[in-house]
Amino acid sequence: MTTRRTVTDFAGIHIGTVDDEGRFFDYAGVHAGALGADLVVRDFEGIRIGRVAPGVRAASTATVSARLR
């Protein structure tokens, strides 16, 4: 079972979720980016688009970070 964690933009507005593998999905269910080791979500061009909501424990992201480099 996959756990989804809430992602907010930098103004605190919910914009989607991150699964256990660090993949970001917007609310339409589109895989739109990845979670980095710094708990910041980036799109596929590396642009920061949000972060894991405060108080939410993030999944391990070592492999996701490596893919973003």
What is the residue-averaged pLDDT of the chain?
80
CATH class of 5-68: mainly beta
For the entire predicted model, the pTM comes to 0.70
pLDDT exceeds 70 at position 9: yes
How far, in Å, CA of 7 to CA of 21, rounded? 14
Query: Which regions of the chain does DSSP assign to beta strands (E)?
Result: 5-8, 14-18, 23-26, 31-35, 40-42, 48-52
- DSSP symbol at 9: -
Per-residue pLDDT tens over the stretch 28-48: 999 999 999 888 999 999 999
